[in-house]
Amino acid sequence: MPVSARALFDWHERPGAFERLTPPWQPSRVLARTGGITNGSRVEVEVPLLHGLLHQRMLMEHRDYQEGREFTDVQLKGPFTRWTHVHRIEAASDGTSVLVDRIDYELPLGVLGDIGGGWFVRRQLEQLFAFRHERTRADLERHLTFADQPRRTIAITGGTGMIGSALTGLLRTGGHTVRWITRRPDESRGDIGWNPATGALNPADLIGVDAVVHLAGASVGERWTPDHKREILASREQGTRTIVSAILAMTQRPEALISASATGYYGDTGAKLLDESSNRGDDFLSDVAQAWESGTRPAADAGIRVAIARTGVVLSPAGGALAKMLPPFELGVGGPLGSGEQWMSWISLDDEVGALHHLLMNRACAGVFNLTAPAPVTNAEFTRTLGKVLNRPAVIPVPAFVLTALFGEMAQGTILGGQRVLPVRLQGAGFRFRHVRLADALRFELGR
């Protein structure tokens, strides 16, 4: 690993480490937790079995804690007859470190269990630990880039969503304090309450916050009824107005506001290459993005560093477009949507939260940034690549009229239309993508 043994051990001790080490294709939900990783601390999780068809609880206890060097997880209850996982961290001569995971387990039914499912479990464990080591290394490298900066307190709207929860884990393992701005605050967790529909957010609750990340907004991935279209727009206008008003009412204001937007800003532009200077479109999503972004202008005018994150299609089996596409593709009945010629400006979830972290920590980052991988693809290429990664055919197209009948206006806005967007300013600001090629992103996110 690219950091000292002490830094690597500290990463494992911080809140968010378990969540960062949980693979997106096999999400485990924390049900209860006591303490950290010291002796006697416990964590109870719900683990998916048989591709999520079944779930089982697993209760683990931490033992053999040696500060800076080692700790062990022992299963007390769960799917294994026996499970012991030793995490060992060794110092390397060049100041870096080595992470060693040693697993000792036994399946139910003894020899019969090993014969029937041993090969499957071994393959799952190989995929799991390949993912965990790659993510740990990537996260540490991101934090190392800004190691000379003080740790910060960051407030996040939309913290329970797919992007917000992943960003929370990344920030907390880097030593930052994260506070969620939510309608249902948990005081024991340090949440901040708000109600964007009424503009309720107490500026005093933001005292001590160094930066705000505003991600909240109603989903655009549902059928656009007139009521839902109003909700999509209002949630973004009201939420941004509430955040900005609270910040401007403070005496000591946060240094930065990172506010989400979307590449839908550009409209359906075919194969035209787009960067942050390109004009906006003239459809519904363009209007929404314009309103979303313009709501941050008073903060920028007041001298607060504002960075707008125009995000493309975020790839994760945990949610979004990829999660909806997986079931038919895994059954071998996936294929291009409509003509397949529409462009998809995608980004892996890891690069999405890495880019948000970069915008937070790099004080030179202000203005608009496209959060998309530097190699956009057509829908036809996307479906071919997904089929190859899953080892499934991807030749059954879904006609445009079927999508329009199912989803109405939303189909044209989010499925049949698209943009070919490049992250010119993000790369110019020094951000390094982990996943430049679509196949690499899909293999990492899907464990293939």
- On whether the CB atoms of residues 163 and 215 are closer than 8 A, the answer is yes
Which of the following CATH numbers is that of domain 5-145: 3.40.50.11060, 3.30.530.20, 3.40.710.10, 2.60.40.10? 3.30.530.20
- pLDDT of amino acid 52: 64
Band (pLDDT 50/70/90 cuts) for residue 111 is low
What integer is the mean pLDDT of 49-63? Answer: 81
Band (pLDDT 50/70/90 cuts) for residue 112 is low
- pLDDT of amino acid 50: 61
Tens digit of each residue's pLDDT (9 = 90 or more) over 168-201: 999 999 999 999 999 999 988 899 999 999 999 9
- pLDDT of amino acid 346: 98
The topology (CATH level 3) of 153-446 is Rossmann fold (3.40.50)
Which residue's entry shows tokens 């960075």? 307
Tens digit of each residue's pLDDT (9 = 90 or more) over 76-91: 999 889 999 999 999 9
What integer is the mean pLDDT of 242-260? Answer: 97
- The alpha carbon of residue 7 and the mean position of all alpha carbons in its chain are separated, in whole angstroms, by 23
- On whether the CB atoms of residues 447 and 127 are closer than 8 A, the answer is yes
DSSP for 320-354, please give it.
HHHHHHHHHHHTT----BTTS-SEE-EEEHHHHHH
Domain range list for the chain = 5-145, 153-446
Structure tokens given for 67: 């500060």
- On whether the CB atoms of residues 262 and 313 are closer than 8 A, the answer is no
pLDDT at 49 over 80: no
Band (pLDDT 50/70/90 cuts) for residue 110 is low
pLDDT at 70 over 70: yes
Which residue's entry shows tokens 């062990």? 72
**CA separation for the pair 90, 128 (Å, rounded):** 21
Look at residues 370, 149, 182 and name the one whose alpha carbon lies nearest to residue 256. Answer: 149
Q: To the nearest whole number, what is the mean pLDDT of the chain? A: 92
DSSP one-letter code for 337 = B
Residues with Cβ < 8 Å from 221, sequence gap 6 or more?
Answer: 320, 321, 324, 410, 414
**CA separation for the pair 314, 120 (Å, rounded):** 29
Beta strand spans in 263-364 (E): 273-274, 305-311, 313-315, 343-344, 346-348
Which region holds residue 320: left if phi is over 0, alpha if psi is between -120 and 50, else beta? Answer: left
Band (pLDDT 50/70/90 cuts) for residue 93 is confident
Structure tokens given for 410: 């939303």
**CA separation for the pair 203, 374 (Å, rounded):** 39
3-class SS at 351? helix
- pLDDT of amino acid 35: 84
**Phi/psi at 419 (5° precision):** -140, 150
Tens digit of each residue's pLDDT (9 = 90 or more) over 400-416: 888 888 788 888 888 88
DSSP for 18-31, please give it.
HHHTS-TTS--EEE
- pLDDT of amino acid 115: 55
What integer is the mean pLDDT of 40-45? Answer: 93
Structure tokens given for 431: 């951000």
Sign of CA dihedral 345, 348, 349, 351: negative
Q: Give the β-pairing of 346-348 and 192-193.
A: unpaired
